[in-house]
Amino acid sequence: MLDASDHVVAFNRLPEFADPTEPTLYRGAPFADLIAAQAAADGFGGFDRELVLHRDGRTERLVLEPPAPDSSPQALAAHRMAVHALAPCDHIQYSAVIDKWWLVRERTTPSGGIIITYVDITALKQTEREVALARSHAEAADRAKTEFLSHLSHELRTPLNAVVGFAELLEGGIAGPLNDRQQGYAGDIVRAGRSMLTLVGDILNLSLLAGDSYVLKDEDVDLSLLLAELTARHAALAAAGRVTVSPVPALPPIRGDALALKFVLDNLLSNAIKFSPEGGTVAIDAGIGPDGLTLTITDNGPGIEGALLRHVFEPFQRRTASTTREAKGFGLGLAVGQGFLQLHGGSLDIESRPGRGTVATLRLPPDRLPA
């Protein structure tokens, strides 16, 4: 405890960070002398930048740049006295000589004095350091994983593209006629190769999104044209199940990453067609309002069970069209699609009830629309 003239009037024990060989702590000792002695004995190994001030029942945060830990004792003592002048306040200081952190609370008394208490928070600071170190290691590991997957993707895509390309040539008879069995084998190679290419791309995109490494390439995107192209691309799939896809609505151009948006729409449209019953319908609707663009793709398929619906955006979660038919794909499309839309400031929602179909709702904010 200090009096109004900043002299020690009472203390309950010798602080651990004071040098017991120096007779600096005694009744009547000037607080400035005590601080100078602590600084000279390496009692100050550092200070936190942030202080908490207490004013009229309110708390305020103040940033006060401390001197470097290896500064002169005079500079360290001057900083400590500058903090002291801001009482009542809370601040954190480090005692290098004994490797301890202290929460220092300074409160004024009605007579103009100051009561100072020291709380040992070394364990808390050690935990903070461990958490920060673990986070740093995790971030480094994540960067290494992303780089590895990027290189792996390139190394896998190149030979896979060659395999698919030559298999397509064989299937088309370019290299000579094939019998029915050989042509079937070539077709299997093409389908398997394309599936692997899709998986490699999805895993890479998911990794980039998880590591905040995917960079949007903003450009003008004609959503109506993009949807029309995707509808034509899946025409054979729709025809095989006699599924009717509604006409594409007229939409304004938007600002966004064309490849990312194509991935999202392609996944939603192919899912809707794939899970529609024979003779079913897929409806594409859109609207523009104060909250931006809303686009829905609705099917009248079997829907999604509630237990699966809660995890539908988790990687490798696959829905099935029935209890007897295994789903195709790897369960990455919705997870990647949701990540792409979030990068655009938008969202992706899935609503479904068993036996009543599924509604996928894509939303983009107003700043993605033309002014």
292 backbone φψ class: left, alpha, beta (φ>0; ψ -120 to 50):
left
Whether residues 257 and 163 share a domain: the answer is: no
Whether residues 193 and 276 share a domain: the answer is: no
- Give domain status of residue 225, yes or no: yes
Q: Residue 25 pLDDT > 80, yes or no? A: no
Q: Residue 217 pLDDT > 80, yes or no? A: yes
Chain-wide mean pLDDT for the chain?
85
User: Which residue has tokens 């500079």?
Assistant: 75
CA-based nearest residue to 72, from 108, 96, 44: 44
Of the pLDDT bands very low, low, confident and very high (cuts 50, 70, 90), residue 147 is: confident
Of the pLDDT bands very low, low, confident and very high (cuts 50, 70, 90), residue 21 is: very low
Whether residues 89 and 151 share a domain: the answer is: no
Overall number of domains in the chain? 3
**Residue 43 neighbours by CB under 8 Å, 6+ apart:** 17, 18, 19, 37, 95, 96, 97
- Tell me the one-letter amino acid at 126: Q
State residue 121's pLDDT score.
92
Last residue of a domain, one of 210, 241, 269: 210
Please write the tens of the pLDDT for every residue from 311-361.
Answer: 888 776 665 544 333 445 556 788 888 989 999 999 999 999 888 899 999
Whether residues 143 and 175 share a domain: the answer is: yes
State residue 20's pLDDT score.
47
- Give domain status of residue 333, yes or no: yes
Whether residues 251 and 354 share a domain: the answer is: yes
Whether residues 289 and 342 share a domain: the answer is: yes
More confident residue, 156 or 297: 297
Whether residues 193 and 301 share a domain: the answer is: no
Which domain CATH number covers 341? 3.30.565.10
Whether residues 227 and 349 share a domain: the answer is: yes
Give the torsion through C-alpha atoms of 347, 353, 357, 363, to 10 deg.
-10
Do the beta carbons of residue 358 and residue 351 sit within 8 Å? yes
Whether residues 318 and 232 share a domain: the answer is: yes
**Residue 186 Cα to chain centre, angstroms:** 42
- Give domain status of residue 267, yes or no: yes
Q: Residue 111 pLDDT > 90, yes or no? A: yes
State residue 22's pLDDT score.
52
State residue 324's pLDDT score.
31
- Give domain status of residue 193, yes or no: yes
Cis peptide before 88 (omega within 30 of 0): yes
Q: State both tokens at 1.
A: 């405890």
pTM of the model: 0.55
- Give domain status of residue 131, yes or no: no
Whether residues 36 and 69 share a domain: the answer is: yes
Whether residues 314 and 257 share a domain: the answer is: yes
Whether residues 227 and 356 share a domain: the answer is: yes
State residue 39's pLDDT score.
85
Residues spanned by the domain of 174: 136-210
Please write the tens of the pLDDT for every residue from 68-100.
Answer: 888 898 999 999 999 999 999 999 988 877 788
- Decide the pairing of beta strands 358-364 and 347-352: antiparallel
